[in-house]
């Protein structure tokens, strides 16, 4: 297994629509994280 670790200044995301029908409702649809570590 390989992983990719990225230290980023920021990550922004926005929820557009539900991926599956049984997903819960969310309160925050758009957010930004500063000084994040992204792991893929």
Query: What is the distance between the alpha carbons of residues 11 and 18, in angstroms, rounded to a whole number?
Result: 20
**Helix, strand, or coil (residue 18):** coil
pTM for this structure? 0.59
Residue 39 falls within a domain, yes or no?
no
Predicted local distance difference test score (pLDDT) of residue 26 = 84
> pLDDT per residue over 1-40, tens digit each?
999 999 999 999 999 888 898 888 888 889 999 999 999 9
Predicted local distance difference test score (pLDDT) of residue 33 = 95
Predicted local distance difference test score (pLDDT) of residue 28 = 84
Q: Give me the domain span that covers residue 30.
A: 1-17+25-34
Residue 13 falls within a domain, yes or no?
yes
Query: What is the distance between the alpha carbons of residues 31 and 33, in angstroms, rounded to a whole number?
Result: 7
Non-local (6+) Cβ contacts of 6 within 8 A are 37, 38, 39, 40
Non-local (6+) Cβ contacts of 32 within 8 A are 10, 11, 12
Q: Count the domains in the chain.
A: 1
């Amino acid at each position: 297994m390989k992983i990719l670790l990225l230290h980023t200044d920021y990550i922004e995301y926005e929820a557009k629509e539900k991926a599956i029908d049984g997903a819960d409702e969310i309160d925050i649809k758009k957010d930004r994280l500063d000084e994040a570590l992204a792991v893929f």
